Structure formats: structure tokens, C-alpha cells
Chain A
């Protein structure tokens, strides 16, 4: 991994080209992470991939983690790997959950209903109110399946993805299972004692 000073250097260099893109850096347990403003994620990823001397050309993994109850809630993680220097760096973009009452999500309002519409309505937030971020399939084609999986499990929309549909769950599934407030069994557990006494 780039060590802590190396990480700060990277931050400094990105700040020169894209000021305000990096919100935070963290070097924890030997792993370097950059927290990036979701609206500028493509610029940062492209810089990390293409800038001479950086060359993080391999996207190992793209996944989302739900940090509930902390806000912003969704962290989109990009694990980048530089195979020449054998270094990993993690890029995080934190997205807020878009409240159905009309809160604004980071990354802007959803456009194109055709792309952000799942085949059937979701519980909770209405179809247009899903957190979204730009898709990096143009930079890293490996992200195609992984973004679909993130959409499938968390409801995070990747704008610009060629085919954002459910990949692992049945296409008519309702709900975003991997969110922290989704019950493990898919439905809330009813206890007979409560049922009997409290209806």
C-alpha cells in the first residue's frame, strides 16, 4: 500500500488537478483510503488510473457498504491495484440515502427513468429516489457485474451503466436486501406471544 506520507502526496497531486475532490484520507491498519466527493469520482479514478507514476489500472473490487446509522449512509468502495508496484488503494465515495420526502441525494437527482427504474416498484423510497453515482464502466469494464450487484443489493444507481438490472436476485424482487434496515429473513419476525397479546 502507499504508506501514509505517500497517500498525502497522492492527495496533494489530485488536489492540484481536481481541487475539492478529495474529502478525506485515511490510513488504517496498513491500508490507504481516499474519501472522494461522489460527483467527482470519475475524475479521481481516471487520474489514479492514467496519471504517470500512478497507474492503478486494475479495479479489484467495487462494492457498497451500508454505514447505517452513520450518515452519509452508503459507501461505494473502489479497490484499486497497481500491479507494477504491487500497491492497493481504496477510494470511497459516500452517498446519502435519498429520503422519500424529497431529500436530495449526493450525486444529483436521478434522470432517465428507463435506467434507474427497476422492473417493479420498490418498497420504501419511490423509484426515482435512489442514491446514485456515476458508473465507472467506461474506465474499468470489470465494474459491469459488480455495479449491477451493488444496485441489486443496495439500490444504488450507477448512472451510465449499460444494463442496470438485478443480477443475483429474481428480477421482480422487491426491496434492497443488503441494506442494514432490511431484515435478514426478508420479512420481520413475528412472535406468537406478541401476536396473541397485541394483535
Chain B
């Protein structure tokens, strides 16, 4: 493989495999003593395939015994060229592409993109759509945190957490499936609102879920909060000072755990967030334990947001009325000629968006997810770029693991919550 470094042959010992693709995190199957200058450092390669279920992240780690001296993430193993593909598709066809970037928090990418295009076109989304979007965004946030909690606890050894978290996650996916027809990657948000109203019975099921969720979160905390191993692995590890995090562009729960109360939902009022009342959990020390606590608290807060949004859900249309951008309802197609023409135009060519460029950011479960859309006046975007939170947060990983043990590095990796689909796009 071209990206492997030139490894001098090991005298005597047979290296397990050149490149160590299948090293386990605490592997001692060392490859080589890579440079004579730093003779006490051992460089090992972790990934891109490794048991930590965080996607295909490859780390080249310089170790001094068990202490990490330097760390270099190598990414790009799931690079899909989504941004390039988006330039080839009409605006609404971009939505399914874009949601497959960060594949656990797919609603957020849809919101970032649809929000950007709505700003480009000047479309106003109706209040019901705003509330529905908020509900689904927060459900997706809970979903993302559940996946995070399950997999991170699995990495740290608390294997049963996976099953508990995924039990709840399946309930959320049931809700998504009820409303949109798909468990993941639902293409539910469209430019102008949401594609469909919620069905009957959805509200009841959602209320059940919302009532249950705090109890479940209590169960998770009961499992982990007094687990000696978990606590000693996360307390005091992976600390990065707040200023350094800000310099590195880190946002989201990582920044909040370090004590900075920065949340885009509160800063930039978008969707229905100004109308619901929720707290933003903020940590103190900024170690892995704080990150864990912040995310778990966020789950509870998200549940409250969903409940309030559901209570305040206004009646009305669920998508904007502007036929230039939004498909007319099918019932009208047989009676109105203009509707038929609009439908035809929208489905074949798509709508044209006036030239301009917009950057719009939302608060995804990992931080600031920004979408930059450049339009040149045609029916296809000229550039869609995502400022993905995990991509930027990954730069903090070196700081988090430096001078810590390899085991702490794994804990930090879990708490960093990178989703490689978003990192690699």
C-alpha cells in the first residue's frame, strides 16, 4: 500500500504482518523501531481495522513503553467523494447523499444542507415544519449519543452497555420508521420543510418513549457511574485545556465538557429552539469523565426538548407552499395544470437557485456541523462543502492522548466520538 512507510526489516523476529492492519489497540506486535534517532520510541500502527468500533480510523502512534508520545491520525479510508457527487445532482437529490456522511446523525446533515439552501432561496419554513424538524433532530441526537455510549462503553470493557443502549436505539429507529419509512437515512427533511406529516399514532408512541427515556438513562448511569474500572479509566484522562480546544476549532460536547458553554442551539436561534426551554450541560475539568457526563445529560435534555416540542406542535402545513421549490400535493396533479407543470419541472430539472453562497451551521451531536453551498444559478449546486465536526475535533486527539497511556488513548478515542463517515466525507 502506498501509504505505508518504509519499514526496515526486523532482525530475528518475524513481524506478524507488515503494516499490522489487524492490531488490537494494546498490541505489542510491533512493526519496527522506525528511526534510529529516537531509539526508545516504538511506532505502531492501529487500524484501519481494529476492534474499537469507531470506523476506519488509522492511528500511527509513537510509544515510549506504554506512554503515547505522538499520534498521527491517517484518515480517508471511507472517503466517498460525496461533495463531488453533490455537484452532479439537482438540489433535492443531494439530500440523500449528504445524509450519508455522518451516518449516525443523519438528520443533522439534512438540516444543515436544507437550511443552507433555504437561506439561498429565501424560503420560509412553516412553524409546524420547524417543530417537526426540531423533534427529529433531537431524537437523532439521542440516537447518536446512544450509539456513542454503547460503543464507547464496549471499548472500555463495559460490554453490557451495548445491549442496553441499542434497545433504546431500536425504539428510536422504530419511531423514525413509523414517520418516514426508513430506519436510517430517511431523507425526511426537504428544502421547505419536511417531506411528510407525522402519521397517527406517532405522537402516542413518541410520548411513551419520552416518558421512558429518563428512566433508561438512569439505568445507564447506574451501570456506569459507580463502576470502578470505568471511573478510573475516564477520570483525569484526556484533559485538554479549554483555550487549546478553541484554538483547534473543537466544538460540541468536547468543548462543553471543558467548561465553555457554547452551543449553537442557544447562540444562533434556529428552528424551534428559541421556543423550548432546555439547559446546556457544561463540565468542569474537561477530562473523559466530564465528556461522558455531558453527553448523558444531553440525552436527558434532548428528551425534554422533544417533549416540549411535541406539546407545542402547531397545526398547519408541514412544508412551504412555494411551488417553485416544493412538490405540489399529488391530489392536485389531476386537477390543476400549473401543478402538473410545476411537478414536472421539479422532478426533471429541479429548481434553480439564484447565484450566491451561504454557510449555515447547526449543532450536531459532535459539534458544529456547517454546510457551505455555492450556487451558480443552475439547478445543480456548484459546491457543497461540509464543515464536519468530527473532522475538526480529530485534531484535538493528539493533544488528548499525548503523555498518557495507550489505554487512556482508547478511552479518549471513545469520548472524542469520531464518526469516520463525517471525517472522510
| Binary CB contact string for chain B from 95 to 128 against chain A (1 if under 8 A, 0 otherwise) | 0000000000000000000000001101000000
Q: Is A134 part of the contact surface with B, judged by Cβ < 8 Å?
A: no
Give which listed residue, A29, A119, A177, contacts B356 with CB less than 8 A: A29
Name the A residues within 8 Å of B81 (CB-CB).
Answer: 177, 184
Q: Which chain B residues (343-389) contact chain A, with CB distance < 8 Å? A: 356-359, 361, 368, 370, 372, 374, 382-383, 385, 387
Q: Is B204 part of the contact surface with A, judged by Cβ < 8 Å?
A: no
Name the B residues within 8 Å of A28 (CB-CB).
Answer: 356-357
> Are the C-beta atoms of A79 and B392 separated by less than 8 Å?
no
Give which listed residue, A58, A90, A166, A169, contacts B249 with CB less than 8 A: A58
Q: Is A47 part of the contact surface with B, judged by Cβ < 8 Å?
A: no
Q: Is A170 part of the contact surface with B, judged by Cβ < 8 Å?
A: yes
Q: Which residue of B lies closest to A186 (CB)?
A: B81
> Are the C-beta atoms of B249 and A59 separated by less than 8 Å?
yes
Name the A residues within 8 Å of B368 (CB-CB).
Answer: 60
B74 CB to nearest A CB, Å: 8
- Size bin of chain B's contact surface: 35 or more
Q: Is B248 part of the contact surface with A, judged by Cβ < 8 Å?
A: yes
Question: How many of A's residues come within 8 Å of B, CB to CB?
Answer: 42
> Are the C-beta atoms of B85 and A168 separated by less than 8 Å?
no
Q: Which chain B residues (247-273) contact chain A, with CB distance < 8 Å? A: 247-250, 262, 267-268
- Number of contacts between A and B (CB, 8 Å)? 107
Q: Which chain A residues (163-182) contact chain B, with CB distance < 8 Å? A: 166-172, 177-178, 180, 182
Q: Which residue of A lies closest to B243 (CB)?
A: A57
Report the separation of the CA atoms of residues A29 and B3 in the bound assembly, to the nearest whole angstrom: 43
Q: Is A77 part of the contact surface with B, judged by Cβ < 8 Å?
A: yes
Given the known interface contacts A61-B370, A169-B76, the answer about A140 and B359 at a Cβ–Cβ threshold of 8 Å is no
Given the known interface contacts A61-B370, A63-B372, A184-B88, the answer about A79 and B83 at a Cβ–Cβ threshold of 8 Å is no
Report the separation of the CA atoms of residues A144 and B84 in the bound assembly, to the nearest whole angstrom: 22
Given the known interface contacts A63-B372, A86-B268, the answer about A140 and B382 at a Cβ–Cβ threshold of 8 Å is no
Name the A residues within 8 Å of B372 (CB-CB).
Answer: 61, 63, 65, 77, 79
Q: Is B148 part of the contact surface with A, judged by Cβ < 8 Å?
A: no
| Binary CB contact string for chain B from 391 to 425 against chain A (1 if under 8 A, 0 otherwise) | 11011000000000000000000000000000011
> Are the C-beta atoms of B2 and A142 separated by less than 8 Å?
no
Report the separation of the CA atoms of residues A60 and B247 in the bound assembly, to the nearest whole angstrom: 10
Report the separation of the CA atoms of residues A25 and B83 in the bound assembly, to the nearest whole angstrom: 27
Q: Which chain B residues (67-97) contact chain A, with CB distance < 8 Å? A: 75-76, 79, 81, 83-85, 87-88
Give which listed residue, B119, B246, B425, contacts A30 with CB less than 8 A: B119
Given the known interface contacts A146-B392, A171-B2, A184-B88, the answer about A141 and B247 at a Cβ–Cβ threshold of 8 Å is yes
Name the B residues within 8 Å of A79 (CB-CB).
Answer: 359, 370, 372, 387
Give which listed residue, B85, B361, B387, contacts A184 with CB less than 8 A: B85
Name the A residues within 8 Å of B382 (CB-CB).
Answer: 65-67, 180
A161 CB to nearest B CB, Å: 13
A178 CB to nearest B CB, Å: 6
Q: Which residue of A lies closest to B81 (CB)?
A: A177
Report the separation of the CA atoms of residues A110 and B372 in the bound assembly, to the nearest whole angstrom: 29
Name the B residues within 8 Å of A57 (CB-CB).
Answer: 246
A172 CB to nearest B CB, Å: 4
Scoring A33, A142, A149, A180 by chain B CB atoms within 10 A of each residue's CB, the highest score goes to A142
Name the A residues within 8 Å of B83 (CB-CB).
Answer: 153, 178
Q: Is A31 part of the contact surface with B, judged by Cβ < 8 Å?
A: yes
B404 CB to nearest A CB, Å: 20
Report the separation of the CA atoms of residues A71 and B333 in the bound assembly, to the nearest whole angstrom: 44
Give which listed residue, B356, B370, B391, B424, contacts A60 with CB less than 8 A: B370
> Are the C-beta atoms of A169 and B79 separated by less than 8 Å?
yes
Q: Which residue of A lies closest to B361 (CB)?
A: A60
Report the separation of the CA atoms of residues A86 and B269 in the bound assembly, to the nearest whole angstrom: 11
Given the known interface contacts A29-B120, A29-B356, A58-B249, the answer about A66 and B387 at a Cβ–Cβ threshold of 8 Å is no
> Are the C-beta atoms of A66 and B249 separated by less than 8 Å?
no
| Binary CB contact string for chain A from 136 to 168 against chain B (1 if under 8 A, 0 otherwise) | 000011111110010001000000000000111
- 8 residue pairs from A and B, CB less than 8 Å apart: A29-B120, A31-B357, A33-B357, A77-B357, A167-B75, A168-B76, A170-B2, A184-B88
Known: A58-B249, A88-B359, A170-B76. 8 other contacts (CB 8 A): A29-B122, A59-B249, A60-B249, A60-B368, A142-B395, A168-B424, A170-B2, A170-B3
